[in-house]
Structure 1
Amino acid sequence: MSLTLCMVVKDEINTISTCLEPIIDQVDDIVIIDNGSTDGTVELLQEHYNITPLSGTLEAERCLCKADLRNRVFDEVKTDWILSLDADERLDQKSLKYFHSISHDSDTKGYFGSWINHINDAPPFEDYKLFLFKKGFKKRGLIHENVQIDIREHGYKAEWLEGFHVEHYPETRKLPAKTELYKKRLQCAIKNEPYWVRYHWFLGYMYFQENRWHDAIKHLTYAIHSDARLMPVECLNSMMVLTSIYAKQGLQKETIDTLKIGIILHDKFRYDFEVAINERIKPWIDSAFNYVHENKLDKIIAYRFAR
């Protein structure tokens, strides 16, 4: 199966080489778009890898949307499959070898892999991400864009790819500014597309991490009461964090009511491909109910998510 690595970069001279080096010989093509690097990233790509990146600009009226640039890159792809990575992500050679070795169901249009996040000096934590998908599908969303929505809307599925691991090493020096920028972009996105549940989930989670519980409750509540067909996991994640907030406040009734919504959502969407591969959600709901019955609300804690 032919495969193209696609990337959007800006000022990644400290990270781009460690992303490319392990896998450059295992992909058929590489298409990169740069949106304004001034640190020598473009020159490095040209001189060391013979890659001349496309040039792009993030538009303020589109909330600095990266999906537009990513989809422009995807349009350049000539291969059957796309591998989408950021410069601060590391994929080992074994993962791609495994991808090339398996047979693919015709209805499977994408693959999730394990995403191990190394944030500052904290212990690494695992999340997941859809890294591989068939050409023809697009990233959707003004921020925190993904391909799942497009795959779901077209009636196809994505699967878990066992043995596919990506390590994520965001640059510590960039994190404070990046966090503030993400928050502003999420606020912009909600203003432009208030119905897009994924924005409310991520902004609610950011507020939760900042202990701004009133603001978090507003957005997470919106998410769990929204139409979850295209974004069921975002609704379930919102339920989990909202439950944790109520539990921290000692609000037993609100905790139980939110968990009941979670059960309804999970039962309704348990056959969705992303809900199906997310093996943590249902056990978490069950354990949270047990803690409520044991009057141990302090034990109800949402697991950590990557942003």
Structure 2
Amino acid sequence: MDGLLTVSMIVKNEEIFLPRCLESVQGVADDIVIVDTGSTDQTLAIAHQFGARTRQIEWPNDFAKARNVSLEMVQTPWVLVMDADEVLVAEDIPRLEKAIKEPFADAYNIRIVSLANKAENISESYVARLFRHVPGIFWEGKIHEQIIPSLIRAKLTLMQLNVRLLHYGYMDGVSHERNKGERNLQLLLEALKDNPKDAYLTWQLSQTYLGLNRSEEAQAMARKVFKLITPDSPFHPLTYVLLAKAYWQGNRPRKALTVLEEAAFQYPTFTDLFFLQGLIRTHLKEWDKALYAFRQCLKLGEPQGFLITETGVGSFKALFRIAQCHTNLHQTKEALAHLLMAIKIQPTFREAWQLLFLLFNGRPIEELAQTVQMVLTAPQIAAAFSTWPERDANEEALVRYIGSLSVS
């Protein structure tokens, strides 16, 4: 067929997310192919409304098999793989188009920005989702399926591309993620029976155990990963973070700090390591040491060149945590200064606002409004507050006061 790019997907019961996803690729996707694994809602009807070609299959209990059915349907030179709960960022489309019209690689790692109900929980990772559709390229793995092994065997070049997919799937609630974790655990254990030395699957198993609060198993699997990979693996620094989190979850914060200190020696620019140190120091109420760690985060800024990172560790999150430390040290002036910098960068950062209200407790709302408007305009404040499903009394009072100023 004519055109350059096909969006390839597998879905099941995605009537809520799918319209937004497909709308985001209108004008850039020359074709859309969707494999449905048993939807009972309006998913297929929505897909057809957007002109997608669809195929229905029985769920094979294997993500790679399902994705490969979708790949078989592709008729264009390039493929963009998406999930139904993802949205292509409109301002990044020109970069995507240039990357396939004037390619500097055969495949691209693009940015997956995982959104959450709280701004402080946003994370990012780079994943191979955009690649040439050529013979020999296929997905592998029952779960956490990968395309990179086949790219390597085909000797295709893989580069990083600053194109974002916003992932909304983590905003559904804890119970959904808990069920997903249990399902993933079983699939990972099955996959590892066939490939017991697969480092990537072992890393994902450790991550899954951590999510299920099974810290000892998470620790054991993280330690096993170190035996299966070399320091040049992109998962090597991430495994330090995973192991430290598992020790902390298992109530061994000192052991976690030892792991992080060793990691920081090897990866001195990986901001996430210092941020996690700061969180653990905060938990231990070691305020001065926590301050040092978070200030290191600001010096480093947002990490570059690492496969997975947490958004804000080198900016607004570090500023907020510094403000928290100053608050506990009764250094209100310093706390306020850092809070204002945090909300200037991320106006929807609700925890920062809550600490700000605490610092102004008992003081006139006019004083708070004047202070906040040093860094944000009234419309910016109103827009930030409108993103929350409901507001508490302090937030309502500030919105009303700012609104009254615009009327008068």
Q: Same fold (TM over 0.5)?
A: yes
Separation of aligned partners in 2, 1:35 and 1:286 = 37
8 Å CA contact 1:83, 1:132 repeated in 2 = yes
How far apart are 1:129 and its partner, in Å? 2.1
Taking structure 1 as reference, are residues 287 and 236 closer, same or farther at Cα in structure 2, changes over 3 Å only? closer
How far apart are 1:297 and its partner, in Å? 9.4
- Aligned residue type for 1:41: T
8 Å CA contact 1:224, 1:236 repeated in 2 = no
How far apart are 1:214 and its partner, in Å? 1.2
1:104-158 per-residue CA deviation (whole Å, 9 max, x = no partner) reads 13xx221122221113445322222222111132222211112222223333331
How far apart are 1:52 and its partner, in Å? 4.2
Separation of aligned partners in 2, 1:209 and 1:85 = 24
2:167 corresponds to which residue?
A: 168
Aligned with 1:100 (options 79, 97, 101): 97
1:249 corresponds to which residue?
A: 253
8 Å CA contact 2:272, 2:309 repeated in 1 = no
Separation of aligned partners in 2, 1:34 and 1:78 = 18
1:135 corresponds to which residue?
A: 133
Aligned with 2:44 (options 21, 42, 45): 42
8 Å CA contact 1:243, 1:258 repeated in 2 = no
Separation of aligned partners in 2, 1:214 and 1:200 = 14
8 Å CA contact 1:113, 1:131 repeated in 2 = yes
2:270 corresponds to which residue?
A: 284
Point out which structure has higher relative CO (alpha carbons under 8 A, 6+ apart). 1
2:326 corresponds to which residue?
A: none
8 Å CA contact 1:246, 1:254 repeated in 2 = no
2:155 corresponds to which residue?
A: 155
How far apart are 1:82 and its partner, in Å? 0.2
Taking structure 1 as reference, are residues 3 and 147 closer, same or farther at Cα in structure 2, changes over 3 Å only? same
Structure with the largest fraction of helix: 2
Separation of aligned partners in 2, 1:303 and 1:5 = 26
Taking structure 1 as reference, are residues 184 and 297 closer, same or farther at Cα in structure 2, changes over 3 Å only? farther
* SS of residue matched to 2:224: helix
Separation of aligned partners in 2, 1:78 and 1:100 = 17
* SS of residue matched to 2:254: coil
1:146-186 per-residue CA deviation (whole Å, 9 max, x = no partner) reads 22222233333311112x11111015154332222122222
1:224 corresponds to which residue?
A: 226
- Aligned residue type for 1:51: A
How far apart are 1:257 and its partner, in Å? 9.4
Larger deviation, residues 9-18 vs 87-96: 87-96
8 Å CA contact 2:198, 2:228 repeated in 1 = no
Aligned with 1:78 (options 72, 75, 80): 75
2:9 corresponds to which residue?
A: 7
Separation of aligned partners in 1, 2:234 and 2:244 = 15
Separation of aligned partners in 1, 2:262 and 2:195 = 25
Aligned with 1:29 (options 23, 28, 31): 31
TM-score by length of 2: 0.59
Taking structure 1 as reference, are residues 259 and 32 closer, same or farther at Cα in structure 2, changes over 3 Å only? same
Separation of aligned partners in 1, 2:161 and 2:198 = 28
* SS of residue matched to 2:24: coil
Separation of aligned partners in 1, 2:273 and 2:183 = 35
Taking structure 1 as reference, are residues 97 and 214 closer, same or farther at Cα in structure 2, changes over 3 Å only? same
8 Å CA contact 2:8, 2:34 repeated in 1 = yes
Separation of aligned partners in 2, 1:238 and 1:211 = 17
Taking structure 1 as reference, are residues 222 and 40 closer, same or farther at Cα in structure 2, changes over 3 Å only? same
Separation of aligned partners in 1, 2:273 and 2:47 = 49
Larger deviation, residues 110-119 vs 232-241: 232-241
Matched, 1:126 2:130: no
2:217 corresponds to which residue?
A: 215
How far apart are 1:21 and its partner, in Å? 0.9
TM-score by length of 1: 0.77
1:40-82 per-residue CA deviation (whole Å, 9 max, x = no partner) reads 2112223x224341112223xxxx2111111121122111110
Q: Percent identity?
A: 23
Separation of aligned partners in 2, 1:287 and 1:121 = 21
Q: Which has the larger radius of gyration?
A: 2
- Aligned residue type for 2:168: Y
2:360 corresponds to which residue?
A: none
* SS of residue matched to 1:159: strand
Cα RMSD (Å) of the superposition? 3.4
Separation of aligned partners in 2, 1:194 and 1:56 = 29
8 Å CA contact 2:32, 2:51 repeated in 1 = no
Taking structure 1 as reference, are residues 73 and 282 closer, same or farther at Cα in structure 2, changes over 3 Å only? farther
1:236 corresponds to which residue?
A: 237
Aligned with 1:111 (options 74, 88, 108): 108
Larger deviation, residues 198-207 vs 78-87: 198-207
Q: How many equivalent pairs are there?
A: 275
Structure with the largest fraction of strand: 1
- Aligned residue type for 1:141: G
Taking structure 1 as reference, are residues 44 and 104 closer, same or farther at Cα in structure 2, changes over 3 Å only? closer
* SS of residue matched to 1:17: helix
How far apart are 1:304 and its partner, in Å? 4.7
Separation of aligned partners in 2, 1:91 and 1:131 = 12
Taking structure 1 as reference, are residues 127 and 6 closer, same or farther at Cα in structure 2, changes over 3 Å only? same
Separation of aligned partners in 2, 1:237 and 1:287 = 9
2:187 corresponds to which residue?
A: 185
* SS of residue matched to 1:26: coil
